[in-house]
Amino acid sequence: MAYAGNDGRTSQYIDVAATDGSGKLERLAASDFLIPNDWSADGRFLVFMNIQNGASELDILDLSNHSQTAYATGTEAQFSPDGKWIAFSGQKAISGEDAEVYVGRFPGPGRRIQISNHGGAQPRWSADGKELFYMTNDKKLMAVAMDMSHGEPVAGVPHVLFQTRIIAARTVVFQYAVSRDGKRFLINSTPSTGAAPLTVLMK
């Protein structure tokens, strides 16, 4: 498990720890503002956001040799299930336009493929890699079929799954998760109007 911490002064760090509590903490990176995003399926690579001077760069840590390399300018990155691609939210070349969802080859090089059309963030792969989900600026959950059989992803036409009440469509951290069958979604949402209050019973 990787997580970000703060030393109480100005810098942040990313540590990794065994989920069973064994072993010692290992420090992987330190900088001004770090946000871990995703592990590769084999546990070798960690993609994280390295935010400095208001801009976010996606960096890759290779735990096999403890090297750190820059990947792209962007946020909210996730490895594809086969580890050959990274989906992320990035700005268009034209300054001031909405961020869009892209897919880039990993480890690269190669062009990045635009997936969303009118703004998008928080891309998430389905477990089989055949769909990509993302949030629009008006909080709609979108789905895009991904054909990965041609050596390069071919994206279908994005379509709306449903309107959400997600806390924020763009927060530079993921606010939803996808079930392994791609049919259910756990979304950090604002309460609906008139929702009953939460009651906690304690013995």
Average pLDDT, the chain: 88
Average pLDDT over residues 98-110: 90
pLDDT(147) > 50? yes
Percent of all residues in the chain with a pLDDT value above 90, rounded to a whole number: 58
Average pLDDT over residues 152-161: 95
Q: What is the pTM of this model?
A: 0.86
Average pLDDT over residues 112-117: 94
Residue 194, phi then psi, degrees to nearest 5:
80, 10
Q: How confident is the model at residue 73 (pLDDT cuts 50, 70, 90)?
A: very high
Identify the pLDDT of residue 11. Answer: 67
Query: 26-30, 37-41, 72-76 — which is least confidently predicted?
Result: 26-30
Question: When comparing pLDDT for 92 and 5, which is higher?
Answer: 5
Identify the pLDDT of residue 159. Answer: 97
